[in-house]
Amino acid sequence: MAESDDVERATRERLRALRRSLGWSLGELAERSHLSPSVISRIETGKRTISLDVLLSLARAMQVDLDVLLDVHRDDEDIVIRPVPTRWSGTTTWPLSRPTSSTVAVKMRFEPRATAPEPRVHAGYDWLFVLTGRIELTLGDRQIVVDAGEAAEFSTMTPHAVRAVDDPAEIIMVLDRDGHRAHVHREGDGGE
């Protein structure tokens, strides 16, 4: 019994630490996981038993494998990252860095859309590289087409948005932790 208590306590601590490293409140994680803030709070504080279905919802919402929360050891866990895709409004995102990294790398796939999403502003700096297709990068009042094999770097204090041009496009994006918070969207959000 003591060993299972240790595993559960460690899982609760990892859940809280990961949520905080993402900069999310209980409410933000609740929206993303479709759980209530009070359920998440009771899980983090040990006032509720952790069920597998709830743990899966939380892992999906934070874009991590269940292994991250359960601390399942693998020989390669300090090297290999196994991205779990998240989809919203024609965009798919794969996290390519550990949730606790200070710099965040993501792969994104954009399906073409008729109009550009609403430009956003947030603290930070973004760098992106177009793997396939073409994207239109909106920076303030400028629309810049970036083709496969090209990169862009810009201050995120300039209103910005990204969309695929003509066909689906895939990019790799590197941003700081503040930028990551702004780029991770909820279901139904227009997305960047």
Greater confidence (119 vs 21) lies with 119
* Domain identity same for 97 and 62: no
Percentage above 90 pLDDT, the chain: 41
Residue of 192, 118, 130 lying closest to 167 (CA atoms): 130
* CATH label of the domain that carries residue 173: 2.60.120.10
Nearest-angstrom CA–CA distance, 94 and 107: 5
Q: What are the tens digits of pLDDT across the range 9-35?
A: 888 888 888 888 777 899 999 999 999
Residue where a domain stops, chosen among 16, 39, 70: 70
**Confidence at residue 70, expressed as pLDDT on a 0 to 100 scale:** 78
Greater confidence (160 vs 70) lies with 160
State the total domains in the chain: 2
Residue 190 lies in a domain: no
Q: What are the tens digits of pLDDT across the range 103-114?
A: 789 999 999 988
If you average pLDDT over residues 81-102, what whole number do you get?
Answer: 81
* Domain identity same for 63 and 112: no
Q: Which domain holds residue 114?
A: 86-183
Residue 63 lies in a domain: yes
In angstroms, what CA-CA distances link 55 with 22, 64, 81, 144, 172?
17, 11, 19, 42, 28
* CATH label of the domain that carries residue 58: 1.10.260.40
Put simply, whether the predicted model's pTM sits higher than 0.85 gets the answer no
